[in-house]
Structure 1
Amino acid sequence: MKVKVISRSTEEFTRERSQDLQRVFRNFDPSLRSQEKAVEYVRALNAAKLDKIFARPFIGAMDGHIDAVSCMAKNPNHLKGIFSGSMDGDIRLWDLATRRTVCQFPGHQGAVRGLTASTDGRVLVSCGTDSTVRLWNVPIPTLMEFESDDSLGDGSKPLAVYVWKNAFWGVDHQWEGDLFATAGAQVDIWNHNRSQPVNSFEWGHDTVISVRFNPGEPNILATSGSDRSITIYDLRLSSPARKIIMRTKTNSIAWNPMEPMNFTAANEDTNCYSYDARKLNEAKCVHQDHVSAVMDIDYSPTGREFVTGSYDRTVRIFSYNGGHSREIYHTKRMQRVFSVKFSCDASYVISGSDDTNLRLWKAKASEQLGVLLPRERKKHEYLEAVKNRYKHLPEVKRIVRHRHLPKAIYKAASLRRIMTDAERKKYERRKAHSAPGSMLKEPLRKRRIIKEVE
């Protein structure tokens, strides 16, 4: 005799983490869902509006410095630690989770202009206008927990102090290796165990103001100088490799960690320019939106976005291939932003400004903090996909792009727009009254470059 039994488990018919909510089964057959596009469009519209309602990017300020924050550095081996240096020579290690100072490194007599951590995260390298390079021992993360402000750590004496002939304006460590480079009157390459530079590079006699090692090729580095140049060096060669001269000065450079052949330059003319190091005769992309000089730039670890800080007192987040920013952060008290960093998990942005504060922001303004349930995560992913599907439609596009700007920046942006339109109209009129082919217009990607030097 055969007995057939229907066997059904409770998990198949109830939602996760609940014993009483029944799971809903849906049939996604297009013939049964004639209003599918209309429903999804409304959901995309509502999702865009909800993003605006829940946009709270500012998390908190880290107060402790008594002068402007001039530079910052991340610890590659510790997620919630960040170093900051100020114009009065004070260097601090911050704990982002508690937003308090963990350790101080006293010693510099002038402004700290450059900070970088070694590959293993155990050595901090700092340099400044007092013509010294100092190596510090970084506290072990497990010892960085503290209960009260009375237990602040002190970096005491540096591991080594290298005194040199001229002031330093920047420093960067190899992604893999024991070398670090300093920018000043020339580019000097140092070893941790040597008190003199192991190599020096010079192309012209102007000051080098920033230096960055390539994340993919440890022997390649890029620098920017006060003579409006961007230069690429190879440590294996005795002379510099490539150089371009732009119309305005470049304040900082950042390599894309996922595409190490590309880098982006933060320029004095309010724009950022993305280049392919193999083809420097034109920029790959021009990133516009700031209304004053861009002072610092840093790429997200994912390589899809970068953050910029500007003299116009705002922080903007750009897509690596987008001409305009997707986000702008500002507060009433924040002054000129001199340094910005993406956190090592790409979830947060840290900015250091002229008002002595470091500020912590969310990389996605409306992102929900804390642990998400599986259903919550699926819901967020679905709404993001729906928004992306209908982002080209006018109403969704208008809501997603809208940002409230400070009055000064709004007026400056309007003025720049008027000037750009007037310049374009003038060119079109001159072209209309000139012989055909006599006036050739170069795109902005090429127009900002004066010449390329091999």
Structure 2
Amino acid sequence: MSIKELKERHGAAEAAVNALKERLRHKRQLLLDTDMAGYSRAQGRAAVSFSSTDLVCCRTLQGHTGKVYSVDWTPEKNRIVSASQDGRLIVWNALTSQKTHAIKLPCAWVMTCASGPSGQYIASGGLDSACSIFDLNAQVDKDGNLPVARTLSGHKGYVSSCQYVPDEETHLITGSGDQTCVLWDITTGQRLSVFGGEFPSGHTADVLSISINSSDPKVFVSGSCDATARLWDMRIASRAVRTYHDHAADVNAVKFFPDGKRFGTGSDDGTCRLFDLRTGHQLQAYSQEPYDGGDAPLVTSIAFSASGRLLFAAYSNGDCYVWDTLVAQVVLNLGTLQNTHEGRISSLSLSSDGSALCTGSSDKNLKIWAFGGHRRVI
């Protein structure tokens, strides 16, 4: 068989697969007679009343000299860790705005950071294809730098995301440009499980984001450049439990809903979506028409409020919408407030008690947004 004939057969097979996917998507849509917003409105539910005085910028954290790529609020509600293009991790006291640690990274091209359950250890990863672990209680070296406590090496592509397994200081999951996620034993530096890769149910493009279910820490979800989100169970190595195909572009952000039964996504297609773990169906899409009629801004990061009633979504144009998840309506845009960032918001993180939101931006700053009065419970 000639190369030309092989290419023709491959093209025909690809067209057939795409046609079957479209038929499947159409069939699934026919089964969905309504979405969450439609049902909520039918039940008389209205959007939560929310104003600029209910979520205010109470602090601006300045100290990075490059774009802030990632922020993570430690389990201690007064400490935040941030990673920046300046090649440093900074640990902040959120109450005083002071820096408690400024860590020079072995690779300046950092993309992600995460705090361990105790707050003593932090992790970071980037274009060096490794995940570096730091012990904040360790002694600095002769140059005043905090040494790397452990390096997790094994990925064949950049490390885009990392997260400690809840309540387990010795286990961490990373997502990578090599299309895989890996569960690590930090004590030994060994890979315990690889999710995806050459296996058929794995991602077919770079993994961009991960989120572990705090209600069931053996389950996590990943988002990828292949426009899918995939559900994984650590007890079932390599094979994805379910794949979610509803997005039309890269899935930049994934986050579990507080109850652990659903998860949210944010994508380059300009939408956020909410999925149900039990049925595998999309419950709701969150999108708005672009102001100028052009392409919708990309979603860069998402976070849920403590109850899940609010979805915070950061966009590439500097907006940060606060969505009412029940009725799919924007109740506030942090990007229009007086003390907002002057650049794109790249990362969001909520405090452990749900009382404040931290945003990191390309303007090199972090901002802390505090909920006022009764809004603390949302």
Amino acid at match of 1:325: V
Matches for 1:421-432 after TM superposition, within 5 Å: none
Structure 1 match to 2:322: 317
Change (3 A) 1:220 1:91: same
Report SS of the residue matched to 1:93: strand
* Distance in 2, Cα, partners of 1:362 & 1:134: 31
Change (3 A) 1:318 1:138: farther
* Distance in 2, Cα, partners of 1:204 & 1:265: 16
Alpha-carbon shift at residue 52 of structure 1 (Å): 6.2
- Which of 83, 91, 109 in structure 1 is aligned with 2:107? 109
Change (3 A) 1:161 1:56: closer
Amino acid at match of 1:340: L
Change (3 A) 1:196 1:292: same
Larger strand fraction of residues: 2
Structure 1 match to 2:254: 253
Q: Mean alpha-carbon deviation: is it higher for 160-169 or for 78-87? A: 160-169
Q: Mean alpha-carbon deviation: is it higher for 342-351 or for 324-333? A: 324-333
Change (3 A) 1:61 1:201: same
Amino acid at match of 1:87: Q
Matches for 1:56-75 after TM superposition, within 5 Å: 57-75=56-74
Structure 1 match to 2:205: 206
Identity %: 18
Q: Structure with the greater relative contact order (CA < 8 A, sep ≥ 6): 1 or 2?
A: 2
Alpha-carbon shift at residue 119 of structure 1 (Å): 2.1
Give per-residue Cα distances to partners, 1:36-83, cap 9 Å, x unaligned: xxxxxxxxxxxx8xx86956722232111111100111211x111100
Structure 2 match to 1:162: 152
Alpha-carbon shift at residue 89 of structure 1 (Å): 2.0
Pair 1:226 & 2:225 matched: yes
* Conserved? CA contact 1:190–1:199, under 8 Å: yes
Amino acid at match of 2:279: K
* Distance in 2, Cα, partners of 1:197 & 1:320: 37
Gaps of at least 5 residues in structure 1 are: 1-47, 141-153, 369-379, 382-454
* Conserved? CA contact 1:103–1:155, under 8 Å: no
Larger helix fraction of residues: 1
Alpha-carbon shift at residue 181 of structure 1 (Å): 0.8
Pair 1:275 & 2:268 matched: no
Give RMSD over aligned pairs.
Answer: 2.4
Change (3 A) 1:196 1:332: closer
* Distance in 1, Cα, partners of 2:145 & 2:355: 29
* Conserved? CA contact 2:161–2:174, under 8 Å: yes
* Conserved? CA contact 1:90–1:108, under 8 Å: no
Alpha-carbon shift at residue 332 of structure 1 (Å): 6.7
* Distance in 1, Cα, partners of 2:286 & 2:262: 14
Alpha-carbon shift at residue 262 of structure 1 (Å): 0.5
* Conserved? CA contact 1:300–1:343, under 8 Å: no
Give per-residue Cα distances to partners, 1:212-235, cap 9 Å, x unaligned: 111111111100111111111111
Q: TM-score if structure 2 supplies the norm length? A: 0.74
Change (3 A) 1:326 1:161: same
Give aligned pairs, total: 303
Structure 2 match to 1:357: 365
* Distance in 2, Cα, partners of 1:56 & 1:219: 34
* Conserved? CA contact 1:307–1:341, under 8 Å: no
Amino acid at match of 1:225: S
Matches for 1:74-93 after TM superposition, within 5 Å: 74-76=73-75, 78-93=76-91
Amino acid at match of 2:65: I
Structure 1 match to 2:30: none
Structure 2 match to 1:346: 354
Matches for 1:361-372 after TM superposition, within 5 Å: 361-363=369-371, 367=372
Report SS of the residue matched to 2:104: coil
Change (3 A) 1:110 1:322: farther
* Distance in 1, Cα, partners of 2:261 & 2:55: 35
Alpha-carbon shift at residue 176 of structure 1 (Å): 3.0
Report SS of the residue matched to 1:350: strand
The structure with the larger Rg is 1
Q: TM-score if structure 1 supplies the norm length? A: 0.62
Structure 2 match to 1:326: 331
- Which of 295, 299, 322 in structure 1 is aligned with 2:300? 295
Amino acid at match of 1:196: Q
Gaps of at least 5 residues in structure 2 are: 1-48, 139-143, 197-201, 291-295
Report SS of the residue matched to 1:57: strand
Structure 2 match to 1:138: 136
Amino acid at match of 2:308: G
* Conserved? CA contact 1:137–1:155, under 8 Å: no
Structure 1 match to 2:42: none
Change (3 A) 1:191 1:332: closer
Change (3 A) 1:195 1:322: same
Change (3 A) 1:233 1:101: same
Alpha-carbon shift at residue 319 of structure 1 (Å): 2.7
* Distance in 1, Cα, partners of 2:90 & 2:234: 31
